[in-house]
Amino acid sequence: MIEVRHLNKTFHLKSGDVTALDDVSFKVEKGSVFGVIGYSGAGKSTLVRCLNLLEYPDSGEIRIGDGKAVVLRDGQATIDGRKMTGREQSAMRRGIGMIFQQFNLLDRLTVFDNIAYPLQHTGRNRKEIEKRVWELLELVALTDKANVFPSQLSGGQKQRVAIARALAANPPILLSDEATSALDPEATESILSLLKELNRKLGITIVLITHEMAVVKRIADRVAVMEDGRIVEEGNVYDIFSNPKAEISKRFVASSSLLGKMDSLIRENAELAEIREGEMLVRLVFEKECVGEHVLTSAAKETGIDLNLLLADAEYLQGRPLGGIVGILSGAPESVEKGMAYLQEHHVRCEVIRDGRVPQNGGA
């Protein structure tokens, strides 16, 4: 549905060059929700602006839907080796709706007219436009606000109007650039569930740009993690959450789960993490369909280890359990070895946070 290959974009400033996109490649499947997460300045907004040619990448290739590949060369868009026409670029943009953090509504127009605005000059008559606007108002549950002005709406309601406007001409793709970043948690939840509903019911493909992992976790199928203009890690949301590889992904995961926060909790509560000689402080992560409690009980029985629970966290992600515990593992040396092997075999990933079996350097 969306395929991006080797996209590059550098801004030339007086103070020096800023590489906003550095060899960015990814694919978004039709009908999926693709998250792009990164801290401020990572290049996320540049990426969405490049996707619909609001900004021209210096080089690379973009293919949208069944369309031909748009090849960017020296900051120019070409198709089949010739310059892309203005008409072709407009057609490409019409297939991509966009929503932003700051809503971008026209304050002097009513909700109804804001949504009708992009439908003007599209060959539809008044009646058709009216019918479509009411459909859209219904879709975003704002039929009772048709005649009010944006200033009379809450942030969440404004974003609903923006979504209706973005979808007015039935684009198969919606790009969302920090659409929930200015909203309180309740409004954020309502907008995310609306986006998910639009994705499920209408099959709209969504590219979701955000700096919040909770947003990705809530509705994305896959996620790309961006840093300094590059995608440093990409994958299924569950896989990234259960086993982040890049340092920055680990930080994002930590920011949105108790399990990830355990390191800092342990650092802040030294007494929590105190272990005696021969003991180990471990983090056990339950992967895939593993039923944690059962495995722990049988591990204790079969191998003679003892596990003293300190912290636990569990949740459901993409319909699968994700969670783990931090605890103190103890027992005879050979039991501990056996116990750890047993856990690994039964899809419990065992990470040693502190190992009391070896002498600590420098002493505590």
Ligand X SMILES: Nc1ncnc2c1ncn2[C@@H]1O[C@H](COP(=O)(O)OP(=O)(O)O)[C@@H](O)[C@H]1O
The DSSP element (H or E) to which 246 belongs, if any, is none
Query: Is residue 320 within 8 Å of residue 347, measured between CB atoms?
Result: no
Q: Which of 40, 125, 151, 361 binds ligand X (CB under 6 A)?
A: 40
Which of the stretches 33-41, 118-126, 243-251, 291-299 binds ligand X when contact is defined by CB under 6 A?
33-41
Q: Which of 35, 38, 339, 356 binds ligand X (CB under 6 A)?
A: 38
Choose between 248 and 280: whose C-beta lies nearer to ligand X. Answer: 248
46 binds, among Mg ion, ligand X, none (CB under 5 to 8 A by kind): ligand X
Task: Report the b/e string of 171-208 with b at 16+ CB within 10 A.
Answer: bbbbbbbbbbebbeeebbebbbebbeebbeeeebbbbb
Task: Report the b/e string of 11-31 with b at 16+ CB within 10 A.
Answer: eeeeeeeebbbbebebebeee
d(CA 357, CA 218): 40
Q: Which residues between 44 and 63 bind ligand X (CB under 6 A)?
A: 44-46
d(CA 68, CA 254): 40
Q: Which of 20, 50, 71, 162 binds ligand X (CB under 6 A)?
A: 20
Beta-strand relationship, 205-210 and 173-177? parallel
3-class DSSP string for 18-38: EEEEEEEEEEECCCCEEEEEC
11 binds, among Mg ion, ligand X, none (CB under 5 to 8 A by kind): ligand X
As measured in angstroms, the least distance from the Cβ of 44 to Mg ion is: 5
Q: Which residues between 26 and 55 bind Mg ion (CB under 5 A)?
A: 45
**Total interface residues for Mg ion by CB under 5 A:** 1
Which of the stretches 41-49, 142-150, 253-261, 290-298 binds ligand X when contact is defined by CB under 6 A?
41-49
Name the nearest CA neighbour of 206 among 236, 179, 229, 168.
179
66-72 long-range contacts (CB < 8 A, ≥24 apart) are 67/92, 69/3, 72/7
Which of the stretches 42-50, 71-79, 87-95, 294-302 binds ligand X when contact is defined by CB under 6 A?
42-50
Choose between 36 and 266: whose C-beta lies nearer to ligand X. Answer: 36
Interaction between residue 13 and ligand X (CB under 6 A): yes
**Total interface residues for ligand X by CB under 6 A:** 12
Choose between 148 and 246: whose C-beta lies nearer to ligand X. Answer: 246
Which residues are near Mg ion by CB under 5 A?
A: 45
Which residues are near ligand X by CB under 6 A?
A: 11, 13, 18, 20, 38, 40-46
